[in-house]
Structure 1
C-alpha cells in the first residue's frame, strides 16, 4: 500500500494520500487548496490516478482543495451527508464505504466538532478529522458543534476501536504525526474525565479565539460545487421535469454513473443503464459500450449521478469523444426525486 502524510504548516493541516499500489487508483483526505500543485506532482511521481478527494468536515481554518482537484483531475468529491457545501459528488453516511481499487474506508459519523464531522477507518488506521486529535480534541463552539455529541463520538465510537489502531488527525500544532487509540485513552488530557457533564464543562470553557480566516474560509468551502450552469448554457443539460418527459422514449438511453452502493441505498431511474463514472473514459471511447450504443442505435445518452457533478463532467468528456447528443440531468438523482420522478430499488 502507498501511504503519504503531507503537512501544511500555515494551517497545521495533515493531508493523506492513499493507494493500494503504484500505477493504481488513489484517494486524498483533507486536501488544502494552496498545496494542490504539490499533491498532483506526487500523484504523477507515484504513477497514480486520483479518483476521490474526501473532506472529513467543512473546514474553518483553510480553503479546501476539493474543488481544484476535481477541476484538474475529474475526481469524485466526497463529504458527509450533513455538509453545508453546495454540491459534492458523493455524500456519505454512517455505515457506508468509500472505495477505490484495492482499498475501502469504513465511514463513521463522529459529530461534535461540527455537525458534519466524519472519521474514516481503514486497515488499522482511523482518520479522525478534528474529532480526536493527538492529546486533544477539536473545539466544539462553532458550526453547530456540540461537546455532548463529541463525547459520544469519541467515547462510544472511536475509543471502542482496538487500542493498536493508528490515529491520524486532520491537524496538529505541536509536531506530532500519529498516535494510537490506546495512547489517547491513557494520555489525552481531555479524555481523562469522569463523565459527559465534566467533558461538556471542560469544552465550554476553552475560550478560544475564532480561526483567523474563518469568515472567509467557511463561505469559500460552502461554495465548492462544480457550476453546472455552464453545461446548461451549452445545451447539454435537462431539468428533472424535462428528463421525466423523455423517460421511456425509444431514442433515449439514461445512464447511471453512481456506484453500486449508492444505487442500492438511494434507488435508480427505471430502465437506466449502470455505467460507473470510474469507467467513463473506457465506455465513451471508440469500442466502448456507450460509444457503440449511441453509434449503433442513434440513442441520445442522458447521464445522471447523485447531484449532477459527475454527470456534468461526463457530458463534457462524452461531447469531446464525439457523442454529440449527450446531456445530463441537472441536479442529478436528488433533483429527480424532488420532482417526484419514478424510482426503483
Structure 2
C-alpha cells in the first residue's frame, strides 16, 4: 500500500493519499485547494490515477480541493449523506464501504464537530477528520455541532476500536502527526471526563474565536458541484421527467454509472446497464463495451449516476471519444425519484 501524509502549514491540515499498487488507483482525504498542484505532481510521480477525493466534513478553516481535483482528474468527489454541499458525486452513510482497487475503507458517521462529520477506517488506522485530534477534539460550537453528539461519536464509536489503531486526524497545531486509540484514551485531556454532561461543560468553556477563513471557506465549500448547465447547453442532457419517457425505448440504452453499494441502497432504473464510472475510459474507448454497443446498434447512450456529476463528466468523455449521441440525466437518480421514475 502507498500511504502519504501531506501537510498544509497555513491551515494546519493533514491530507492523506492512499493507493494500491496493482493498477495505481488512488484516494485522497481532506485535500486543500492551495495544495492541489502538489497533490497532482505527487500522483504523477507515483504513477497513480486519482479515483476518489473525500472530505471528512464541511471545512471552515480552508477551501477544499475536491472541486479542483475533480476538474483536473475527473475523479469522484465523496462526502457524507448529511452534507449540505450542493453536489458531490457520491454520498456515503454509516456502515458503507469506500473502495478503490485493493483498498476498502469503513465509513463511520461521527457527528459532533459538525453534523456531517465522518471517520474512515482502514486495517490498522482511522482517519478521524476533526472529530478526534491528537490530545484534543474538534470544537462543537458552530455548523450544527453538538458536544453530546461528539461524546457519543468518540466514546461509543472511535474508542471502541482496537487500542493499537493508529489515529490520523485532519489537523494538528503542535507538530504531532499520529497517535493511537490507547494513547488518546489515556492522555487526551478532553477525554478524561466521567460523563457526557461533564464533557458538555468542558466544551462550552473553551470560548474559541471563529476560524479566520470561516466566512470565506464555508460558502466556497458549499458550492463544489460541477456546473451541469454547460452540458445541458450543449444539448447533452435530458431532464428526469423526459428521461422517464425514454425508459424501454428501443433506440436508447440507459447506463448506470454508480457503484454496487449505491445501487443496492437507492435502487435501480429497470433495464439499465451497469457500467461503473471508474471503468468509463475503457468502456467508451475503441473495443470497449459501450463503444462497441453504440457502434453496433446505433442506439443512444443515456448515462446517469446519483446526482448527475459523474454522468456529466461521462457525457463529455463519450463525446470526445466520438459517441456523439451520448446524453445524461440531469440531476441523476435524485431527480429521477422526484420525477416519479420507477425503481427496481
In the other structure, the counterpart of 1:98 is 98
* Residue 327 of structure 2 corresponds to residue 319 of structure 1: no
Deviation at 1:92, TM superposition (A): 0.2
In the other structure, the counterpart of 1:213 is 213
* Residue 306 of structure 2 corresponds to residue 306 of structure 1: yes
TM-score normalised per structure 1: 0.99
Determine the C-alpha separation between the residues in 2 that align with 1:22 and 1:314: 24
In the other structure, the counterpart of 1:195 is 195
Determine the C-alpha separation between the residues in 1 that align with 2:125 and 2:103: 12
Determine the C-alpha separation between the residues in 1 that align with 2:80 and 2:322: 35
In the other structure, the counterpart of 2:60 is 60
The correspondence of residues 1-345 of structure 1 with structure 2, limited to 5 A, is 1-21=1-21, 24-344=24-344
Deviation at 1:23, TM superposition (A): 5.0
What are the Cα deviations for residues 126-151 of structure 1, in whole angstroms up to 9, with x where unaligned? Answer: 00000000000000000000000000
Deviation at 1:158, TM superposition (A): 0.1
TM-score normalised per structure 2: 0.99
Determine the C-alpha separation between the residues in 2 that align with 1:179 and 1:265: 35
Determine the C-alpha separation between the residues in 1 that align with 2:19 and 2:296: 38
What are the Cα deviations for residues 231-264 of structure 1, in whole angstroms up to 9, with x where unaligned? Answer: 0000000000010111111000000000011111
Contact in 2 for aligned 1:111/1:149 (Cα 8 Å): yes
Contact in 1 for aligned 2:255/2:304 (Cα 8 Å): yes
Determine the C-alpha separation between the residues in 2 that align with 1:83 and 1:260: 21
Deviation at 1:200, TM superposition (A): 0.3
SS class of match (2:270): coil
Determine the C-alpha separation between the residues in 1 that align with 2:73 and 2:15: 17
SS class of match (2:18): strand
Determine the C-alpha separation between the residues in 2 that align with 1:155 and 1:10: 30
Pick which of 14-23 and 162-171 moved more: 14-23
State the aligned residue count: 344
Determine the C-alpha separation between the residues in 2 that align with 1:156 and 1:162: 13
Contact in 2 for aligned 1:23/1:46 (Cα 8 Å): no
Contact in 1 for aligned 2:27/2:52 (Cα 8 Å): yes
What are the Cα deviations for residues 173-227 of structure 1, in whole angstroms up to 9, with x where unaligned? Answer: 0000000000000000000001100000111111000001101100000001101
Deviation at 1:265, TM superposition (A): 0.9
Determine the C-alpha separation between the residues in 1 that align with 2:274 and 2:328: 14
Determine the C-alpha separation between the residues in 1 that align with 2:228 and 2:256: 18
Determine the C-alpha separation between the residues in 2 that align with 1:186 and 1:21: 36
Deviation at 1:45, TM superposition (A): 0.4
Task: Point out 4+ residue stretches in structure 1 off by more than 4 angstroms.
Answer: none
Gaps of 5+ in 1: none
Determine the C-alpha separation between the residues in 1 that align with 2:17 and 2:285: 29
SS class of match (1:317): helix
Deviation at 1:24, TM superposition (A): 1.0
Determine the C-alpha separation between the residues in 2 that align with 1:297 and 1:331: 27
SS class of match (1:120): strand
SS class of match (1:43): helix
SS class of match (1:303): strand
Determine the C-alpha separation between the residues in 2 that align with 1:31 and 1:193: 33
Deviation at 1:22, TM superposition (A): 6.5
Determine the C-alpha separation between the residues in 2 that align with 1:70 and 1:97: 21
Cα RMSD after superposing both structures: 0.6
Gaps of 5+ in 2: none
Determine the C-alpha separation between the residues in 2 that align with 1:286 and 1:47: 24
Determine the C-alpha separation between the residues in 1 that align with 2:233 and 2:332: 17
Determine the C-alpha separation between the residues in 2 that align with 1:22 and 1:247: 38
Contact in 2 for aligned 1:22/1:48 (Cα 8 Å): no
